[in-house]
Chains A and B, each alone.
Chain A
Amino acid sequence: MIISTIVFYALAGVLILSSMMVITSKNPVHSVLFLILAFFNAAGLCVLLGAEFIAMLLVIVYVGAVAVLFLFVVMMLDINFKDLQSGFKKYMSVGGLVGGILLAELIVIYSSWSFSKSAPENIKFKTPDITELSNTEALGRILYTDNLFLFQIAGLILLVAMIGAITLTLRTRDGVMKQDVSDQVNRKREDVVKIVKVETGTGVA
């Protein structure tokens, strides 16, 4: 019990610190790296909760794929840090105002928020006992057995979004030298090599 409490505070502390660093660090590459650290600690918290499948997905999807692309793009940008910081004072008042309003709203909501007594009975899919059913199986049952059609529709919407993004950015340009592998493989000696017998002193016409 003690150990898990210590681990919880360690993970949560590093998570909060690193997410602070994401927005305060001056170098954008450092920001992305802190973001990765934050994801990692969040995954650690999930493991602590017994949600191992979610934790692994978080690492695979966000850290292993999304953050790599972030890092990829940010590393290739040539950012002038002075320019970025110059507008800080100008926008400080507006930004502070928006932030303050949001914070106040959150405080108002959470101070008056209360669950109705019957809320636990209204949950449609209750969390199954972790000793009976593994994480993966429990999630699989909900996604693929109970709610298969909703899940498939969600997938279709994503597919449409993906096709939309591709059609928006697809453009055909003229004059691009394109490789066609079958052309390259089918190239024959007769098509490209011509043997010419050259007389001395005449050259090839």
Chain B
Amino acid sequence: MIELLTPYAIQVAFIVLKILLIIVPLLIGVAYLTYAERKVMAAMQLRQGPNMVGPFGLLQPFADGLKLFSKETILPDMANKPIFVLAPILTFLLSLMAWAVIPFGELFGKTLLLSNINVGILYLFAVSSLGVYGILMAGWASNSRYAFLGGLRSAAQMVSYEVSIGFVMVTVLLTTGSLNLTEIVMAERPFWVSVMLFPMFIVFIISILAETNRTPFDLPEGESELVGGYNVEYSSMTFALFFLGEYANMILMSAITVILFMGGWLPPFGIESVLIDWVPGIVWFGLKICMILFIFLWSRATLPRYRYDQLMRLGWKVFLPFSLVWVVLVAGVLLATDSLPV
């Protein structure tokens, strides 16, 4: 039995190492995303932002994390305890699960990713559509009106905007001819096709703001009416898991945007020059993700919150018809000009 399992053990150890290589930088990224958020917002509002812990306040996210660690986890008496505990775990787990298929770059002719599956984009769509469960379960299990209303709002919002995200993905797939993320990045499109995808890029950016419950669509946690939304009863580590999940999801959605629209780890605008050839792909990938993340922070600091009926109207009556028409249009133009990928 032991001889039989030894090769597997080595494989498993190798995979665990790879997973750690993805998750640890991701969590550090999440920590510094919260720091960046506070600094960027502070700069936009002419404040200093965190500047006390460490040089320029660089250790602030770890101080916050330690504070959350040392607090007491409170389980409300009336809560449905198993689901109450499961909800944050699920949210956090799902935000990490999706990273299994994200290609980070290319090194010595090999793509850096955990698993290269044929239906990568569907996997991402499936995992992101599961995110709603964590929130719905948290809202219900808390047995509190505020949490429940926040959970319901969030579920309705995420389901609505998933539809247009799906159509945007379909449009991109039409131009790449593959569901594999690496092939989507490497796909060569003529310039006019990229121009046709630009409106979808805008729709996608706005939809991922809604999908991750960020301003201007952060109604699930609308402080003024719902105290704190679905996570109002959570404290300490359970709260921290929601928080980490939300920010990891932001990074994930930015990564998906970069892969679908911005050429992944390839240099921007298809520049090929000796000057930038030495830059590893993963650096470009990271820089592009930071650019999209900046849009998240920028909109948080500048835009007021949407009204709920306007949010639903935008999702169902503007984005859905528009993206539906655009899918047909792009497909028709590609077919007419005979430029569909084989």
Contacts and interface: CB of A to CB of B under 8 A. Distances in A.
A64 B162 contact: yes
Contacts of B140: 29, 75
B215 to A, nearest CB: 22
B136 interface: yes
Given A72-B152, A181-B313, A64 B126 contact: yes
A interface secondary structure, majority: helix
Contacts of A135: 118-119
Contacts of B126: 56, 59-60, 63-64
Contacts of A3: 8
A60 B132 CA distance: 12
Given A59-B130, A60-B129, A65-B129, A136 B136 contact: no
B229 to A, nearest CB: 16
A30 B117 CA distance: 32
Interface string A22-38: 00000101100100100
Contacts of B136: 68, 71-72, 75
B224 to A, nearest CB: 21
B313 to A, nearest CB: 7
Interface in B120-169: 122-123, 125-126, 129-130, 132-133, 136-137, 140, 148, 152, 155-156, 159, 162
B68 interface: no
Contacts, number: 68
Interface in B254-277: none
A184 to B, nearest CB: 10
B202 interface: no
A52 B129 contact: no
A59 B8 CA distance: 28
A57 B126 CA distance: 8
A59 B148 CA distance: 25
Interface residues of B, number: 28
A128 to B, nearest CB: 14
Nearest to A75: B140
Contacts of B83: 29-30, 33
Contacts of A179: 309
Nearest to B166: A60
A52 B118 contact: yes
Contacts of B129: 59-60, 63-65
A117 B125 CA distance: 42
A172 to B, nearest CB: 18
Contacts of A181: 313
Contact of B125 (A2, A29, A60, A76): A60
A136 B136 CA distance: 32
Given A3-B8, A68-B136, A136-B118, A56 B162 contact: no
A53 interface: yes
Nearest to B136: A71
A3 B133 CA distance: 30
Contacts of A19: none
Interface string B296-321: 00000000000001000100000000
B313 A56 contact: no
A16 B271 CA distance: 54
A64 B130 contact: yes
B188 to A, nearest CB: 20
A2 B132 CA distance: 35
A65 B159 contact: yes
Contact of B123 (A33, A56, A72, A76): A56
Given A36-B133, A60-B129, A65-B159, A52 B309 contact: no
A2 B119 CA distance: 25
Interface string B214-258: 000000000000000000000000000000000000000000000
A30 B4 CA distance: 40
Nearest to B313: A181
A14 to B, nearest CB: 15
B280 to A, nearest CB: 30
B118 A68 contact: no
Contacts of A2: 4-5, 8
A52 B4 contact: no
A52 B130 CA distance: 17
Given A33-B137, A53-B118, 19 more contacts: A52-B118, A52-B119, A53-B119, A56-B122, A56-B123, A57-B122, A60-B122, A63-B129, A64-B130, A64-B132, A68-B159, A71-B133, A72-B152, A72-B155, A75-B136, A135-B118, A135-B119, A136-B118, A179-B309
Closest 3 CB pairs of A and B: A64-B129, A56-B122, A59-B126
27 contacts: A2-B5, A27-B80, A29-B80, A29-B83, A30-B83, A33-B137, A52-B117, A52-B118, A56-B126, A59-B126, A59-B129, A59-B130, A60-B125, A60-B126, A60-B129, A63-B126, A63-B129, A63-B130, A64-B162, A68-B132, A68-B133, A68-B159, A75-B136, A75-B140, A75-B148, A135-B118, A136-B179
